[in-house]
Amino acid sequence: MTINSNSMQEHDFTLLLDGLQSITPELEEAIFKSGCDDATLSLRFGRLFLTFSRTASSLREAIVSAVLAINGCGFGLRVLRVDVCNLVTQSEIARKIGRSRQLVHQYMIGVRGPGGFPPPACNITENAPLWYWCEVAYWLWSNDLISQDVLQEAQEVAVVNSVLDLEHQRQIAPELTKEIMQSLFLCK
Number of domains in the chain: 2
Indicate the pLDDT class of residue 186, thresholds 50, 70 and 90. Answer: low
Task: Report, as an integer, the average pLDDT of 141-159.
Answer: 95
Average pLDDT over residues 143-153: 95
Q: Which domain holds residue 113?
A: 87-132
Q: The domain that contains 12 carries what CATH number?
A: 3.30.70
Examine residue 96 and state whether it is found in any structural domain, yes or no: yes
- Tell me: the pLDDT tens digits for 123-143? 988 888 999 999 999 999 999
67 assigned to some structural domain? yes
My answer on whether 27 and 14 are in the same domain is yes
Does residue 139 fall inside a structural domain?
A: no
Reduced to 3 DSSP states, what percent helix, strand and coil does the chain have, rounded to the nearest 5? Answer: 45, 20, 35
The residue from 83, 98, 114 where one domain ends is 83
Residue 168 lies in a domain: no
Q: Examine the domain organization and report whether 79 and 91 are in the same domain.
A: no
Q: Residue 78 in 3-state DSSP?
A: strand
**Count of other CB atoms within 10 angstroms of residue 29:** 11
Give the per-residue pLDDT at 124.
Answer: 87
Residues 34-45: tens digit of each pLDDT: 999 999 999 999
DSSP reduced 3-state for 14: strand
